[in-house]
Amino acid sequence: MNEPVDVLVSVTMLRPEERLLLDALRGRGLTAATGLARDVGAVLNGTAPAPATILVRTLSHRDAAQVARRAEAAGIPALNTAAALDVCNDKGLQALLFGSHDVPHPRSFHAYADDEIAAFGDRLGWPIVVKPLSASWGRGVVRLGSRDTLDAWSGGRESTDAAGKAFPVLVQEYIEKPDHDLRVIVIGTQPVVAIQRHSTDWRTNTHLGASVSRTDITEDIILLCKRVTDLIGPGFYGVDLIEDIRDKQLRVLEVNANPEFARSSREHGVDIAGLLADLIVERIGGIPAGV
> What local confidence, expressed as pLDDT, does residue 117 receive?
98
Same domain, 190 and 165: no
- The domain of 33 spans 7-88+278-284
pLDDT digits (tens, 9 = 90+) for 158-186: 888 888 888 999 999 999 999 899 999 99
Residues 189, 123, single domain; the answer is no
**What pLDDT was estimated at residue 2?**
74
Q: Note the Cα 180 to chain centre separation in Å.
A: 18
- Read off the CATH number of the domain in which 49 is found: 3.40.50.20
Note whether 153 and 81 are same-domain residues.
no
pLDDT of residue 203: 64
Same domain flag for 46 and 118: no
- How many domains does the chain contain in total? 3
Of 173, 189, 209, the residue that ends a domain is 173
Say what the pLDDT of residue 290 is. Answer: 42
Classify residue 201: in a domain, yes or no: yes
Q: What is the CATH number of the domain that holds 135?
A: 3.30.1490.20
Say what the pLDDT of residue 285 is: 80
Rounded to whole angstroms, how far apart are CA atoms 64 and 48? 20
- Ranges of residues in the chain with a pLDDT under 70 are 1, 201-209, 286-291
Residues 12 and 34 in one domain: yes
Judged on CB neighbours under 10 Å (0-12, 13-18, 19+), 54 is buried
Provide the 3-class DSSP secondary structure of residue 38.
helix
Predicted pLDDT at 291: 39
Residue 267 covered by a domain: no
Q: Verify that 84 and 11 share a domain, yes or no.
A: yes
Per-residue pLDDT at 288: 44
Helix and strand element counts for the chain (H, E) = 10, 13
Round to whole Å and give the CA distance between 61 and 88: 9
pLDDT at residue 266 in the model? 86
Sequence-distant (≥ 6) Cβ neighbours of residue 55 within 8 angstroms: 7, 8, 9, 10, 21, 78, 79, 280
Q: Residues 163, 190: one domain?
A: no
